[in-house]
Amino acid sequence: MAMRTRLTWQQDKCLQNYFGGKRFCLLYKASVQKFSHQNLLCTCENQGPTMIVVYSEKCVIGMYLKEGFQGKDVSITIFALQETGFSLCAKGPYSPYLLFHKRKTNDFSILLDKKAVIVSSAICKMLQLTARNNVIPIQECEAFRCEELLDERKTRGIAVLHSNLLQALRDYKPYGDLVQQTRVLLLGPIGAGKSSFVNSVKSVFKGSITHQILVGCDEDGISDKYRTYSIKAKDDSDPLPFILCDSLGLGENAGLHTDDVWHILKGHTPDRYQFDSMKPITSNHPNYTHDPLLKDRIHCVVFVFDINSFEIHSSELVAKIKKIRRDLIKHGILHLALLTHVDSLDLITKEDMTDIYNYSPVKSKLEAFHGVFGFALSDILVVSNYVSEWQLDPVKDMLILSALKEILYTANEFLEDLPLNK
């Protein structure tokens, strides 16, 4: 029999949030270790904060012991999860061992061998439970150790991964030294988070939050010029070997003109060129680069989307983007997708962001994106840009740095794939 909790994902999240960011480690399950309170106590003693959950036909009732089973009186919070919602009441201090015996003085008793809980009328009322003769039969009982979601042990691990990533990026060199800096183009709908991503990357390397590039919300997009950004790491005098190129957002009728995309890709468009939605750049423009070299061309394209709105874009915009992608494929230009605002997903916590690609709602979003645009799942990255924070956060940094690493490694694949005469 498997040691898997009966709590649904939603119920687990609800309890996680209520008890202040806790993770629940299943220690005891009655159907596997037998319905006996000795077995429960045996596994749960001295485990720190503990939670016991019983499942009846219609609801889930639980007890949260902040100080766990330690051989002294502790305060207990009793709660119930029902279709109507979450309700709780506090009790104590109690000796937790008494909970497993039937006593007149007990408000709440768990009788495992009888597969029932006895709940006093007062508690029934507070939790809105229905019980016949104060007895509720139960089908299962589970006990959990409660741990901090993002405790010191984990933060230490994250710090190590963070510095490894930063080092990997510092060691990055364009493939074969074919160019000094690889050029990455950010394309995407208006407001997707392209300029915010550039700000975020700059912030991570600088070591503090910077808002050099103007961002905001406007129907027509904030960035109106083509900008190419070089980034310096904190203590270095030389810029890092990549350039992020920010463009006007794509819109159905407004926004970046499709022909402008090609001029940018081939390397004709100069830095600070002012876009015109109606007219693409022409070779008459004063700073138009007539014979672009490999270093002027784009080596990797990143399609940036807001994770919350890619599913509701108009079909015209979707068709426009798919056409651009088909043309990129035709010309052998490698590209990835970057979904922003992942931290705004419902119920997501910082800890979920440390293993973001295994988090169910993110997996569903990736599948949905694959369904709309046809990108391979491993070509879709997620990130959370720095928008209103005052300080850097290692978890966010990691997502930003790993996305950047994938992007730069992909640019290297493009350089490696070039025919030798180019």
Partner 1 sequence: MKVTARLTWIEEKILEKLLGNASLTLLYQSSAHKNCVSEMTQKYSLQGSTMTVFHLEEDVVVGVFILENFPRLVSEKPCTCAWFSLKRNNSSGISALFLNTKVIVDSEELIIFSLDGLSLSVTPLRGFTLALNDTVMNGLELNLGHGFLPVECEIFRVDGIKKKPSFIKKMVTAKQHGGKLLSALRAYKPYKDLVSEVRILLVGPVGSGKSSFFNSVKSAFQGHLTRQAIVGSDESSITKQYRVYSIKDGKSRETLPFMLCDSMGLEEGEEAGLCIDDIPHILQGCVPDRYQFNPCEPMKPKHSPHAASPPLKDRIHCVAFVLDINSVNTLSDKMVAKLKKIRKDVVDCGIGYVALLTNVEEYDEVLDDSFANMTETVTSLSQVQNVQKWLNIPIANILMVSNYASERRLEPMKDILVFAALRQMLRAADDALESYQDLPLEDTGNLAPS
Among 104, 330, 390, 421, indicate the residue that binds partner 1 (CB under 8 A): 330
- CB of 197 closer than 8 Å to CB of 188: no
Whole-number Å distance between alpha carbons of 298 and 294: 8
Whole-number Å distance between alpha carbons of 328 and 230: 24
- Residue 68 found at the interface with partner 1 (CB under 8 A): yes
- Residue 171 found at the interface with partner 1 (CB under 8 A): no
Which distant-in-sequence residues (6+ apart) come within 8 Å of 243 by Cβ? 181, 182, 183, 184, 228, 229, 230
Q: Minimum distance from CB of 401 to partner 1 (Å)?
A: 14
Among 25, 122, 214, 368, indicate the residue that binds partner 1 (CB under 8 A): 25
| Degrees to nearest 5, angle at CA 410 with 409 and 416 | 90
Identify the residue whose tokens are 């229905």. Answer: 130
Q: Which x/- pattern, by CB under 8 A, does the window 341-380 give for partner 1?
A: ----------------x------------x---xxxxxx-
Q: Minimum distance from CB of 356 to partner 1 (Å)?
A: 10
The tokens of 73 are what? 């009186």
Q: Which x/- pattern, by CB under 8 A, does the window 172-201 give for partner 1?
A: ------------------------------
Decide: helix, strand or coil at residue 118: strand
Segment contacting partner 1 (CB under 8 A): 29-37, 90-98, 118-126, 278-286? 29-37
Segment contacting partner 1 (CB under 8 A): 20-28, 117-125, 179-187, 236-244? 20-28
Q: Minimum distance from CB of 362 to partner 1 (Å)?
A: 12
- Residue 4 found at the interface with partner 1 (CB under 8 A): yes
- Residue 90 found at the interface with partner 1 (CB under 8 A): no
CA distances in angstroms from 191 to 80, 91, 275, 304, 309, listed in the order given: 42, 50, 16, 9, 10
Sheet holding 108-111, edge to edge: 108-111, 116-119, 135-137
Among 84, 85, 133, 152, indicate the residue that binds partner 1 (CB under 8 A): 152
Segment contacting partner 1 (CB under 8 A): 52-60, 72-80, 113-121, 325-333? 325-333
- Examine residue 394 and say whether the peptide bond preceding it is cis (omega within 30 degrees of 0): no
154 CA to centre of own chain: 17
Interacting residues with partner 1 (CB under 8 A): 2-4, 25-27, 32-34, 39, 42-43, 45-49, 67-68, 70, 145, 147, 151-154, 156-158, 160-161, 326, 329-330, 332, 334-335, 357, 370, 374-379, 409-410, 413, 416-417, 419
